[in-house]
Amino acid sequence: MRILISGGAGFLSSHLTDLLLSQGHQVVGVDNFITGKADNIAHLKGNPNYSFIEADVIKPLSIDGPIDRIYHMASPASPIGYVKHQVATMKVNSEGTWNLLELSLAKKARFLIASTSECYGDPQVNPQPETYWGNVNPIGLRSMYDEAKRFAEACTMAYHRERGADTRIIRIFNTYGPRMDPHDGRVVISFIRQALHNEPLTVFGDGMQTRSLCYVSDLVDGINRVMESDFHEPINLGNPNELTILDIAKEVLALIPESKSTITHHPMPPDDPKLRRPDISRAKQILGWEPKVSRREGLGKMIDFYRDKLK
């Protein structure tokens, strides 16, 4: 198949690209490098099955030849990234989604939107099943992302229901692994960078807020399975193994025994969800999918990658 990935130079997209190329497909990556990094796709240079277009999908994309699948992955995705690029975040998830849905109709391509656990906001239900409608502050400091993704989901369902577009929706929970931007502020990469540099690990608040961390290879396998399934409503993808942020800091320090770092506490940012854990019953039932990589193994691989990179 010939597969288009918007946001192709992002962390997740670059791993998804590797997976699809290993399956024998052709991949066309599109990115405007707002938060994507050329480094993430540097290893693909010269691969005859890979091509890259530097473009912003908020403008209609003209692309020659057939396209069988469109993964719409483009969007700033870290709290620092989407607060820095608020309008761009809203546009890529609205106009960008719109444009790629139109392209999917024109090319008769299957379309997948990468949505997020942020659709659940600061959840009052834990774990979060897809049937939970969420608790989102519509004007909060994360609203440019949360509401844009909720709009992107609504837009995708409208094209599916009214225009017959062949669509899929995934809600991605916290994911970690090699190729995360060391300075995008997300918790796992921040703690690893700080520990490798012997700087204090910055835990926000008392560190009792929770997250559930999925290793990137499990996540992209899940994304690919959703695309190849026949299910149109949202599917949660993430690892249901929930832990506190303070425990993440302690685990990172235990895996980098040479680090001289300590743990410090900083003020809790506003609108930071207190709990997050995916209910993955739907993914298990429909895709036969669940994460396989333990945190110890995943964090170990990630630390090995950054030991060289962050010297």
Catalytic residue among 71, 145, 176, 215: 145
Instruction: Kindly tell me which residue out of 182, 185, 200, 240 binds ligand UDP, with binding defined by CB under 6 A.
Output: 185
Distance separating alpha carbons of residues 200 and 205, to the nearest angstrom: 15
Long-range contacts of 282-286 (CB under 8 A, 24+ apart): 282/129, 282/130, 282/235, 282/236, 283/222, 283/226, 283/235, 283/236, 283/237, 286/229, 286/231, 286/235
Please identify, using beta-carbon distances, which residue of 44 and 245 lies nearer to ligand UDP: 245
Q: How far is the CB of 192 from ligand UDP (least distance, A)?
A: 11
Q: How far is the CB of 169 from ligand UDP (least distance, A)?
A: 19
Q: Is 187 in the site for ligand UDP (CB under 6 A)?
A: yes
Q: Is 272 in the site for ligand UDP (CB under 6 A)?
A: yes
Cα separation values, 230 from 111, 135, 213, 267, Å: 12, 29, 26, 44
Q: Is 190 in the site for ligand UDP (CB under 6 A)?
A: yes
Q: Is 186 in the site for ligand UDP (CB under 6 A)?
A: yes
Count of chain residues binding ligand UDP (CB under 6 A): 15
Q: Is 202 in the site for ligand UDP (CB under 6 A)?
A: yes
| 8 Å CB contact between 234 and 176 | no
Q: Is 199 in the site for ligand UDP (CB under 6 A)?
A: no
Distance separating alpha carbons of residues 215 and 301, to the nearest angstrom: 10
145 is catalytic: yes
Is 242 strand, coil or helix?
A: strand
Name the residues that contact ligand UDP, by CB under 6 A.
Answer: 78-79, 174, 185-187, 190, 202-204, 209, 211, 245, 269, 272
Catalytic positions are 145
